Amino acid sequence: MTKNTDIFIKKVERFIAGKSLMKPTDKVLVALSGGSDSVCLLHTLLTLGYRVAALHCNFRLRGEESERDERFVRELCTRLGVELTVRSFDTAGYASHNKVSIEMAARELRYAFFAEELTRQQADVTAVAHHIDDNTETFILNAIRGTGVRGLAAIQPRNGNIVRPLLCVSHSEILEELKSCRLDYVTDSSNLEDHYSRNKVRLNIMPLMKEINTSAPANIIDNMQEMLKIYDSYISNEIRRCTVEKDGETIIDLPTLQQSASPLSVLHEIMSPMGFNRTQETNILRFGESGRTFRSASADGSDTFTASAPITSMILAIEV
Helices (H), the chain: 3-18, 36-47, 64-80, 91-98, 102-120, 132-145, 149-152, 171-181, 197-200, 206-212, 216-242, 254-257, 263-271, 278-287
Give per-residue pLDDT as tens, 126-174. 999 999 999 899 889 888 887 777 777 778 899 999 999 999 999 999 9
Cβ 142 vs Cβ 152: under 8 Å: yes
Closest to 29 measured CA to CA, from 85, 78, 88? 85
Task: Please tell me whether the overall predicted TM-score, pTM, comes out greater than 0.75 for this model.
Answer: yes
Pairing of strands 249-253, 243-246: antiparallel
Question: Would you place residue 281 in the very low, low, confident or very high pLDDT band (cuts 50, 70, 90)?
Answer: confident
Cβ 280 vs Cβ 295: under 8 Å: no
Q: Which amino acid is at 318?
A: I
Give per-residue pLDDT as tens, 76-122. 999 999 999 999 999 999 999 999 999 899 999 999 999 999 999 99
Which residues are bridge partners to 127 per DSSP? 30, 163
Q: Which amino acid is at 34?
A: G
What strand order describes the sheet that includes 83-88?
83-88, 51-58, 27-31, 125-127, 162-163, 158-159
